[in-house]
Structure 1
Amino acid sequence: MNRYGYSIFCDDIRNEAGGKLSFIGCYNGVIFISGQFPLVLPKLCVHIHILSPASQPFNSIAVRCYLPGEEKPFFEEPIETPERHDQTELVANLKTDTGAPLFIVAATSLIFAPLELRSSGLMRVRAAIDADQELRLGSLRIEHAA
């Protein structure tokens, strides 16, 4: 089993009662922008999930976001992970009889308000895991509305 992850791109993320999250205005792979570049979005949110097999605890995770046409990330932030032995102990204490594989999950919500866009193209989200693996977490195509 390999590590994998995904991103949800949306207009807003709200914390609800009972620890629930609501994603408002989710994008299905593309956002159509009216107006001329460069332009500023009042807010764009990205919720990220990274899953690792229980046998591969995380040492470190850094999330990186890239804007269209940019080689360097406009955002880079570590995600705090429990110590490796704490992750292993947590998984060992899980009681499951389903036979389904167990995963360690890291998640975070990113809120960019405002967000300046200089051109159309792909907004990419990546994670550097344990300093030696880059994991692709998704992208959002930014298009000029016709």
Structure 2
Amino acid sequence: MLEGYVIYCDDIRVEDNGKLMLIGVYGTDLIAQGEFPITLTQIQLLIRFRYTLEHCGKSLNINVYLPGDDESTPSLVHGINTAQKPSASQLEGIKKAYADGPVFANLSIPLGLSHIQVDELGFIKVTLECEGEVKRLNSLRINDTPALNSSDAPKD
């Protein structure tokens, strides 16, 4: 099983104590300034995911799609080698220790993109892919107008 999510922001910093500081976190939309195509000078993705032991020892790809990308051709592919598969005796010990549920490996990957050209409105999408299994994570909409707040809605 693969599962995870993405936090989209302007910058990711690591404090001296190891805590992450996310600056300029986006909600559902990134509002484009100017006419398309636009250039995103910098956008950071904090990709957090987990996988079960069956994925250990396998190659995993993080695929990033920009608006207009074909589903078979992401703009960026970032490969990850998963943890080494446990030996049979280690696996037996893990199963005994976690008899009440599945065991997961957890990863956090900060991924910085700079000077990215976006040609049209749409979504930045991220998927995890492991040997044919594809898991879609959340996306960020590239929009040219802000979403309406309840206070901005037309009055009857």
Residue aligned with 1:18, SS = coil
Following the alignment from structure 1 to structure 2, what is the Cα–Cα distance between the partners of residues 45 and 56?
26
Instruction: Give the length in aligned residue pairs.
Output: 142
Residue number in structure 1 paired with 2:30: 31
SS in 1 for 2:123: strand
Structure 1 segment 81-100 matched on structure 2, within 5 A: 81-85=82-86, 89=90, 92=93
In 1, Cα distance between equivalents of 2:78 and 2:92: 26
User: 1:1-146, aligned counterparts within 5 Å?
Assistant: 2-54=1-53, 57=56, 59-71=58-70, 72-85=73-86, 89=90, 92=93, 102-129=103-130, 131-145=131-145
Q: Which has the larger share of strand?
A: 1
How far apart are residue 80 of structure 1 and its match?
2.8
Larger Rg: 2
TM-score for both structures, normalised by structure 2: 0.78
Mapped contact 2:65–2:76 kept (Cα < 8 A): yes
**TM-aligned CA deviation for residue 89 of structure 1:** 4.2
Distance across 2 between alignment mates of 1:30 and 1:58: 36
How far apart are the structure 2 equivalents of 1:62 and 1:55? 16
Contact 2:9–2:25 (Cα < 8 Å) also in 1: yes
Q: Are the counterparts in 1 of residues 57 and 81 from structure 2 also a CA contact under 8 Å?
A: no
Q: Is the 8 A contact 1:79 1:108 kept in 2?
A: no
Contact 1:120 1:143 in 2 (8 A): yes
Moved more, 50-59 or 116-125: 50-59
Q: TM-score, normalised by structure 1?
A: 0.83
Matched-pair contact (CA < 8 Å) for 1:54–1:91: no
The alignment's C-alpha RMSD in Å is 2.6
Identity value in percent? 29
Structure 1 unpaired stretches of 5+: none
Gaps of 5+ in 2: 147-156
Counterpart residue type for residue 139 of structure 2 = S
